[in-house]
A and B are shown apart, each in its own frame.
Chain A
Amino acid sequence: MIETQKLARKDFMSGQTVRWCPGCGDYAILAQVQSLMPALGIPREKIVFISGIGCSSRFPYYMNTYGFHTIHGRALPIAEGLKMANSDLQIWVITGDGDALSIGGNHFIHALRKNFDLKIIMFNNEIYGLTKGQYSPTSKIGQKTKSSPFGSIEKPVHPLSLALGVEATFVARTIDADPKHMLQVFKRASEHKGTAYVEVLQNCLIFNNGAHSFITDKMQRPDHALYLEHGKPLRFGPDNSKGIALKGTSPVIVEQVVDEKELLVHDETHEEPTHAYFLSRMRHPEFPVPLGVFRAVKKPIYDETMNQRIESAKKSRTEKNFRDFMVGNNSWTMR
């Protein structure tokens, strides 16, 4: 442990040349993850980064920990297998909107549903970057890309709504342009027991520049971002003068808050995901976009339950070895 405390950010840099485009939002995410690591107090060998395919998925090569750059969409089941085999590890899954929500969509919903102890960071740039600019499942309707020259005809998937729909136990959102907030959210994710899912709104400078500028741009952010705080009323705006109230079953913007009591209060620990889901439906431009932790609840963890079962079964075993078991299975002896 003493040695662990001595680790610094540079101890987590692998020395491989980082090969993202200059100005890519991925650099900021990498920097914050590397800054977080020493603070976790976990020895380097017990940390693993697993990724699928896409720009974001180069991430493990840049971390001086264990890492596995796998195949498109499959980082989650590989991470699940590793976690079940080795429960001591802290495993981070790095993925993108195409990797997690399109080709890996099935694994995504089942990983969150089963609640493995994994930390997922999904870089959402609303585009396929590594294949050079096709629309992704999070691209906006009407968006013109190389594979949608007349505009995408697809209604996009909303990642947090999807995650909450399968009752994910930890759901959060942050942005690549706010390092401090990113670090806080990653820290919360690392502390969560169960599947922690973090969406990072990330800018692809080359193929989808400015997709999130309404919120990443410092001037626009106060009007369009709502920073969630557990137990606090939902407030936003340049001088925090605006708020969100509930009218019937719909959110409404209170342009000038007079009495805070009329505002909705954030509770990330709600047993039901309904409150968080409601927040996930608040979208630009009608509403400010919530940032922070939407939901953080404690539920049984798949790999932990499985390993507990195995350990207790091993303890109560009466057979000496497996041969003993086979012999005890209606055997007969011929001499």
Chain B
Amino acid sequence: MKNEIKSFTIRFAGDSGDGMQLVGTRLTETLVVQGIDVSTLPDYPAEIRAPGGTVSGVSGYQMQFADHDIYSPGDTIDCLVAMNPAALKKCIADVAKGALVIVNEDAFTEQNLEKAGYENNPFADDSLIQYRIIKIPATSLTLQAVEGIGLQKPQAERCKNFFMLGLALWLLDCPIDATKEWISSKFKKNPQVLEANQRAFSSGYAYGDTKELSGLRFTVNKMEDFKAGTYINLSGNEAAAYGLVAAAESAGRRLFFGAYPITPASDIMQELAALPRFNVSMFQAEDEIAAVCAAIGASFGGAIAAAGTSGPGLCLKTEGINLAVIAELPLVVIDVQRGGPSTGLPTKTEQSDLLQALFGRSGESPVVVIAPQTPSDCFHSAYEAVRLAVHAMTPVIMLSDGYIGNGTEPFRIPEEGELPPIKLSFEVSPEKFQPYLRDPETLSRPWCVPGTPGYEHRIGGLEKQDVTGAVSYEPDNHDRMNRIRLEKIMKLQSVIPDQEIFGEEEGELLIVGWGGTFGSIRTAVEELRNEGVKVSHAQIKYLNPFPKNLGDILKRFKKILVPEINLGQLAWLLRAKYLIEPHQLNLLRGLPLKISDVKEKAIELLEAVR
């Protein structure tokens, strides 16, 4: 018997060496090619191999899939697959009441229970009575399946994630041939391991037909409301890398990417390192400072220049970005935000670099700040960041985060000619050329690069005389230049889209978010509206400058709620700029906002009105 469902959220959790990320990514690939919408959230500890069996060492991979457009990997779990007691302990609070909990029974030894901090066996008391528990001896079944291949016991046990993958494919009624082929190609260099994984996988799939699981097979149909096109499954970090390449290709320039390894941004540099054939130069520098400085040098040389980092690296890049501000050179800095301050929570998500991006530099130093909203939007935001950087000859900071950076979803590849072309700044003849001559419309200066005869000039970090670019200490000139640099950024309001509203254009409550909280907030608002509650939603992508209609929008609602994964940074900005008093919802748990938290807060505010 199959159950047809609209959407389903499943989480695989185990020790960080248990291979849960592999199970999750493979299941995702299997579902997306069937035309099902999938949104994923990998959640892993900072340690490569955290102490085995402990709650802090649990690595998880959560995914929601649906027959309609979804924006988040789900709040409450419909099925938890727990490979050990620690995984059960860490995740059980997120499981919906009555939902399915599949555990690897073999791992529930006294020793493991103790490591996980269980005083009593949770199966022996009634603590799990609200869930539908399925106990499967996955380790012993895996060992049986691979018997005779000649693997050592620890190696044989490691195949249990393939057992679980097989079981998951059965549970979700997926075809298995593609995965079998995938296993064959992935392990072709080691025939013994290949054979063992194939057998464990088949054994897991076959286990589905046993009676314990009868009636527990779920089917999600293909999406109906999709946009026609060609799709690939992408993480936000991959999408950001691709967006940069596409933009440089449109501009007809080389893409130069300066980077230093940092969690959770390193995927971007790794993606770009593999793409020299698209005229991409990925430079791994000796530190964060050199990475951004090399990008500035490349920008001076006419390349589309970008750097990728996370919060601690953005701190180090501060002075470099400031140089690009005064030298008026295009530069994109992608900050994949993580928990801070300092080293903070390297593998966990947060939105706490907003004020740093806007203000974390000496002097009056305005830059463009934009924030992608979903993994797919990282492509479009990176592309947009390049467009704005070269349009206004300015640094642009793109605030992604660990959640959308690591999360994946199907990305529709733009058709040829669909993306706006990247236009370089204005041209001027050598006779008329001056380094700080300005396009009257954009206030941007010409981008004349070394190697071009007739345009020899010097720029630098000292204040410049307007137009001529000569060093100037003249008081009025300094005042004027500061105002020009600001006005140049504000003028971008005319080339960025107006803020959109989901729901009514005016009313009782508007929820205003920014960046990666889009999925949680939009899902909460959709659910509320389906329940008959009138709530509107605006997710701000352009944080500097704000869209020009934002102030008007905010005034049309009685109450504004600003949910953020920080202590109120956007709320602070809105208060300062528009003199409004927004309500806040702030949670810094290293995790995405919960849909239920947003809904509860919205209802609380609306009830207070009545």
Could you list which residues of chain A lie within 8 angstroms of chain B, going by C-beta atoms? 14, 16, 43-46, 48, 50, 53, 60-61, 63-71, 74, 76-86, 88-89, 106-107, 110, 306-307, 309-310, 313-314, 316-317, 319, 321-323, 325-327, 329-335
Contacts and interface: CB of A to CB of B under 8 A. Distances in A.
A331 B462 contact: no
Contact of B451 (A45, A64, A68, A110): A45
B291 to A, nearest CB: 8
A77 B286 CA distance: 9
A332 B233 CA distance: 9
Interface in B301-319: 301-303, 305, 319
B51 interface: no
Given A71-B461, A314-B276, A107 B298 contact: no
B451 A60 contact: no
Contacts of A79: 297
A330 B233 contact: yes
B33 A334 contact: no
Nearest to B304: A85
Contacts of B32: 332
Nearest to B233: A330
Given A45-B453, A45-B456, 4 more contacts: A68-B297, A77-B286, A84-B283, A86-B451
- 10 cross-chain pairs, A with B, having the tightest CB-CB distances, nearest first: A81-B297, A69-B460, A81-B294, A85-B301, A67-B458, A77-B290, A77-B293, A78-B297, A82-B297, A313-B277
Given A84-B281, A86-B302, A70 B323 contact: yes
Given A68-B300, A77-B297, A16 B470 contact: yes
B83 to A, nearest CB: 27
Contacts of B232: 326-327, 329-332
Which residue, of A61, A69, A89, A110, has the highest number of chain B Cβ atoms within 10 A? Answer: A69
A70 B293 contact: yes
Contact of A81 (B33, B280, B283, B416): B283
Given A85-B281, A334-B229, A323 B290 contact: no
Nearest to A50: B297
Contacts of B246: 322-323
A331 B411 CA distance: 9
B456 A64 contact: yes
Interface of B: 29, 32-33, 35, 223, 226, 228-233, 242, 245-246, 249, 254, 256, 258, 275-281, 283, 285-287, 289-291, 293-303, 305, 319-320, 322-323, 327, 413-414, 416, 449-462, 470-471
Nearest to B242: A326
14 contacts: A63-B458, A69-B460, A70-B293, A71-B461, A77-B297, A81-B300, A81-B305, A86-B451, A110-B285, A313-B277, A322-B242, A330-B33, A331-B413, A335-B228
Nearest to B258: A81
A71 B320 contact: yes
Given A61-B458, A110-B286, A322-B246, A309 B276 contact: yes
Contacts of A44: 453, 456
Nearest to B294: A81
A85 B297 contact: yes
Nearest to A64: B456
A317 B319 CA distance: 38
A86 B294 CA distance: 12
Contact of B455 (A45, A67, A322): A45
Contacts of A333: 229-231
B228 A334 contact: yes
A81 B298 contact: yes
Contacts of A83: 297, 301
Residue of B285, B291, B300 with most partner-chain A CB within 10 A: B300
B116 to A, nearest CB: 37
B453 A321 contact: no
Contacts of A68: 297, 300, 327, 458-460
Contacts of B277: 310, 313-314, 316-317, 319
B413 A82 contact: no
Contacts of B35: 332, 334
Contacts of B452: 45
A152 to B, nearest CB: 27
B413 A65 contact: no
A316 B277 CA distance: 8
Contacts of A63: 458
B276 A74 contact: no
Contacts of B297: 50, 68, 77-85
A156 B232 CA distance: 57
A81 B255 CA distance: 11
Contacts of B413: 323, 326-327, 331
B302 A74 contact: no
A65 B303 CA distance: 20
Nearest to A108: B286
B256 A85 contact: yes
Nearest to A43: B453
B281 to A, nearest CB: 6
A82 B33 CA distance: 43
A330 to B, nearest CB: 6
B238 to A, nearest CB: 9
A165 B168 CA distance: 56
A83 B254 CA distance: 13
Contact of B33 (A65, A88, A89, A332): A332
B279 A314 contact: yes
Contacts of B276: 309-310, 313-314
A133 B291 CA distance: 31
A310 B281 contact: yes
A85 to B, nearest CB: 3
A84 B258 CA distance: 11
A325 to B, nearest CB: 7
A64 B454 CA distance: 11
Given A45-B451, A70-B323, A330-B29, A81 B296 contact: yes
A115 B383 CA distance: 33
A322 B245 contact: yes
Nearest to B455: A45
A51 to B, nearest CB: 8
A66 B456 contact: yes
A84 B303 CA distance: 10
A91 to B, nearest CB: 8
A48 B323 CA distance: 18
Contacts of B323: 70-71, 74
Contacts of A50: 297
A321 B413 CA distance: 13
A68 B295 CA distance: 14
A66 B302 CA distance: 13
A5 B414 CA distance: 51
A81 B301 contact: yes
A78 to B, nearest CB: 4
Nearest to A316: B277
Nearest to B232: A331
Contacts of A89: 301, 450-451
Nearest to A84: B281
Contacts of A323: 246, 413-414, 416
Residue of A80, A322, A329 most packed against chain B (CB within 10 A)? A322
B461 A69 contact: yes
A167 B323 CA distance: 31
A66 B286 contact: no
A84 B459 contact: no
Contacts of A82: 297-298, 300-301, 450
